[in-house]
Amino acid sequence: MADFLSAYSIQYWLESCPQGYLDETEYGHAPGATEPAAFLEDPELRAQAIQGTVQLVVGERCALAASSGLINAAPDEASKRYLATQTLDEARHVEVFTQRLYDLGVKKTELEDVIRTHANPNLVKFAEILLEKVDRKDFVAGVVGQNVVLEGMAFTVFEMMHAMNKGVNPKFAQTLSGTIADERRHVGFGENRIGSLIQAHPERKPEIERMQRDMSYYMLATFADAFRQAPSEEDRKRFRRELGADESAQWHGVNLATADPKDMEHVLADTVLREFKLRLGRIGIEYQTPARP
Ligand SMILES: [Fe+2]
Ligand SMILES: [Fe+2]
């Protein structure tokens, strides 16, 4: 327990996060950094950026509701304090991605309408499955749903977005890299805290495996929707030209400039599912394959 206590203490969080990689940042990026002009000048590129950022806000609002809700369900004091730090991380993620919507020209009075209009219904379902466990104060299922499934997904999506943005949008790429560093801490907690609880309560496994399968289904459906709505090849070429994109940028062996949206969807889904299997295996949960949406 000693390692667990120090790695997930508030002291550790203060030193590594606010006094560490977030030091001297403003909404997660260098003070004064702005979105590239093309995002504000090309209406389709701007619409794409808003659409994608809304999904991040929806996911992070769910993470905020889950991590805060799990504090009072946690069986031990160290987990409660850790979850308090995670709650602040998730609130910060909601804030920085909401700020990006404002930076893209969304008016404060339009925010909730824009989120409602663009939120992917499958992502909303994904969130509901998790929040139902949290509402029932089901700590074990809640942590698996939040810190293994939701954050395993978020971690990989952010890494892909970071690879796509680092050459063209240093402001957003920096916001993402701080978020990725936070998510790495969160998935670590899920694995370290839950393994022993699952061992102590093997009778919970089938229900947790069902939750993971259902959440995975809606996650894959969200990916399918997102890539189906991808801009045409011609538009993608124009965006790259406007942004001065690096044509050789790679992610998991796929060329991000030239890959077909279908190929991107497969690489993303495969990468997330591989991570799920690995992490679930480590906590003694057997990955259940959902029906392909
Ligand atoms: Fe988050
Ligand atoms: Fe998180």
List the one residue out of 106, 243, 270, 220 whose CA is nearest residue 173.
243
Q: How confident is the model at residue 19 (pLDDT cuts 50, 70, 90)?
A: very high
Alpha-carbon gap, residue 64 to 146, rounded angstroms = 10
Percent of the chain with pLDDT over 70: 98
**Contact indicator for 82, 186 with CB cutoff of 8 Å:** no
What's the pLDDT score for residue 163?
A: 94
Alpha-carbon gap, residue 16 to 36, rounded angstroms = 29
The tens digit of pLDDT for each residue in 212-271 reads 999 999 999 999 999 998 888 898 889 888 988 888 888 998 998 888 999 999 999 999
The tens digit of pLDDT for each residue in 44-99 reads 999 999 999 999 999 999 999 999 999 999 999 999 999 999 999 999 999 999 99
The tens digit of pLDDT for each residue in 281-291 reads 999 999 999 98
Tokens standing for residue 247: 């044509």
Q: How confident is the model at residue 3 (pLDDT cuts 50, 70, 90)?
A: low
> What amino acid is encoded at 103 in this protein?
D
Residue 176 Cα to ligand 1 middle (Å): 10
Residue 227 Cα to ligand 2 middle (Å): 23
Q: Which ligand is nearest the CA of 186, by number?
A: 2
**DSSP-assigned letters across all residues of 116-147:** HHHS-HHHHHHHHHHHHHHHTT-HHHHHIIII
Sign of CA dihedral 164, 166, 171, 172: positive
List the one residue out of 58, 107, 90 whose CA is nearest residue 182.
90
What's the pLDDT score for residue 247?
A: 83
Biggest CA pair distance of the chain:
57
Alpha-carbon gap, residue 197 to 70, rounded angstroms = 15
Q: Which residues pair with 250 in a beta bridge?
A: 255
Residue 236 Cα to ligand 2 middle (Å): 30
Residue 86 Cα to ligand 2 middle (Å): 7
CA angle 219, 224, 230 (to 5 degrees): 130
5-22 residues labelled b (16+ CB within 10 A) or e (exposed): eeebeeebbeeebeeeeb
Q: Which ligand is nearest the CA of 146, by number?
A: 2
Residue 84 Cα to ligand 1 middle (Å): 13
Q: Which residues pair with 251 in a beta bridge?
A: 254
Residue 241 Cα to ligand 2 middle (Å): 34
Residue 1 has pLDDT above 50, yes or no: no
Give every CB contact of residue 112 below 8 A, 6+ residues apart in sequence.
Answer: none
Return the C-alpha torsion angle 18, 22, 23, 26, nearest 10. -120
φ, ψ for residue 250 (rounded to 5)? -120, 155
Give every CB contact of residue 243 below 8 A, 6+ residues apart in sequence.
Answer: 36, 38, 45, 168, 169
Residue 6 has pLDDT above 90, yes or no: no
**Range from 21-35, 105-119, 143-157, 227-241 carrying the lowest mean pLDDT:** 227-241
The tens digit of pLDDT for each residue in 26-44 reads 999 999 999 999 999 999 9
The tens digit of pLDDT for each residue in 184-220 reads 999 989 888 888 899 899 999 999 999 999 999 999 9
What's the pLDDT score for residue 2?
A: 46
Residue 206 Cα to ligand 2 middle (Å): 25
What's the pLDDT score for residue 269?
A: 95
What's the pLDDT score for residue 4?
A: 59
Give every CB contact of residue 170 below 8 A, 6+ residues apart in sequence.
Answer: 29, 30, 33
**Contact indicator for 177, 159 with CB cutoff of 8 Å:** no
Give every CB contact of residue 275 below 8 A, 6+ residues apart in sequence.
Answer: 152, 155, 156
